[in-house]
Homo-oligomer: A and B are copies of this chain.
């Protein structure tokens, strides 16, 4: 009988393994790599805008000079020169007074979040996260067998009252969330930013409820008006764990991110990282350190900002010009993403095959929720395609939505058109809408 068993190990996986599923984004990989498809799906930075020859010769020199270090094991906490530079980078977003000793270099900020989860989360623990939330964070929490409770956002980011309500509701059930996971700047996937006023309010609520806050900030330096929103960590050092990344300001292929955490937590994170990868790649760390020291990296961030701003403008312009009535979307001030709400009765995941047939790809909204919300939503990324391709992609998507609307009206009638969609009310109207979802 052995030969006929599909998975000989099916009876011995860990409990957590049974919950592991591929994300909506991964399912799209094969599709979006086809050249005829305009992909508004992946969040890949525009690394071709980097001066590749200069970076190449910088790295070549680096190996000749420091190869014995760049190719050797390093410390689990990460290179000390890089950790000093990270203090400077965080300083740009208002974080002062941190020490290089508070910083742990990680294999992308994804590993940083995973380490935080390993250190804090037992199976069944409750985690608060925005609705919608970063799909990679949901994957981490799922692997940790945590229970995600979503907290509503609007155009001003996480809603303080919603956070308060969630905490009170949990307390009434005898539950205390282990942490709040939040992306305050240029949110993935929602494209919105937490206002100054709300930052103060969110931190006051965290203080009142003794809540640990995980601030994930990969896009903070990519504000299109060069605005900087001081980090939550800048206002509160003792209950905010900060996740940073060089994936969007330099290059994701290096996998260099970091965690800045209170002293006692930082020690645990290092131990967890050593058990996971021994140490982050020395080569990647020295490349980043050398890049920050020897190249005009802030000028390059400005180049990225301008490039993404142009693409954002193109995407928004095309949406206004081409989308049928009843579709709404957010207006990001930075970062990579627009969050779209379809007219009542449309299902972004069900629409996907038709979209791919029409040679345009996006990520269905349900991937950004742990609880089945987001049926009528989708995420558009404008970071990677050239403007002309973005316009063409939006044109194709608009015609797909029009066909869906026509189908709904013609074949299914009012019974379906009047059906409600997700798990919460929403006020999608024509054109740009200030409210999420």
Contacts and interface: CB of A to CB of B under 8 A. Distances in A.
B111 A277 contact: yes
A297 interface: no
Interface in A18-70: 20-23, 26, 29, 42, 44-45, 47-48, 50, 52-53, 55-57, 59-64, 67-70
Contact of A67 (B10, B47, B63, B271): B47
Interface string A276-293: 111111111001000000
A269 to B, nearest CB: 10
Contacts of A142: 275
A26 B274 contact: yes
- Would you call the interface of chain A mostly helix, strand, loop, or mixed? helix
Interface string A221-255: 00000000000000000110000000100011111
Residue in A53, A55, A271 whose Cβ sees the most chain B Cβ within 10 Å: A271
A108 B48 CA distance: 28
A61 B56 contact: yes
Interface residues of A, number: 88
B108 A251 contact: no
B251 A71 contact: yes
A72 to B, nearest CB: 5
A271 B59 CA distance: 32
Contact of A268 (B17, B75, B251, B274): B17
A7 B44 contact: no
Contact of A60 (B13, B59, B67): B59
A252 to B, nearest CB: 5
Nearest to A265: B9
Interface stretch (A82-90, A119-127, A374-382): A119-127
B283 A287 contact: yes
B110 A252 contact: no
A386 to B, nearest CB: 14
Interface string A129-149: 000000010011011000000
A78 interface: no
A29 to B, nearest CB: 7
A73 B119 contact: no
Most buried by B among A17, A21, A50: A17
Given A71-B254, A253-B71, A253-B281, A275 B114 contact: yes
A243 B328 CA distance: 49
Given A107-B107, A276-B114, A283-B254, A238 B121 contact: no
B281 A254 contact: yes
A110 B70 contact: no
A339 to B, nearest CB: 21
B265 A282 contact: no
A276 B276 contact: yes
A72 B59 contact: no
A261 to B, nearest CB: 9
B56 A67 contact: yes
Q: Which of A69, A107, A247 lies at the interface centre, i.e. has the most chain B CB atoms within 10 A of its CB? A: A107
B264 A108 contact: no
A318 interface: no
Nearest to A29: B75
B253 A70 contact: yes
Interface string A397-419: 00000000000000000000000
A60 B67 CA distance: 13
A302 interface: no
In order of increasing CB-CB distance, the 4 nearest A-B pairs are A60-B60, A56-B63, A253-B282, A71-B251
5 contacts: A14-B118, A17-B119, A56-B67, A108-B278, A139-B275
Interface of A: 6-10, 12-17, 20-23, 26, 29, 42, 44-45, 47-48, 50, 52-53, 55-57, 59-64, 67-76, 107-108, 110-111, 114, 118-122, 125, 136, 139-140, 142-143, 178, 212, 238-239, 247, 251-255, 262, 264-265, 268, 271-272, 274-284, 287
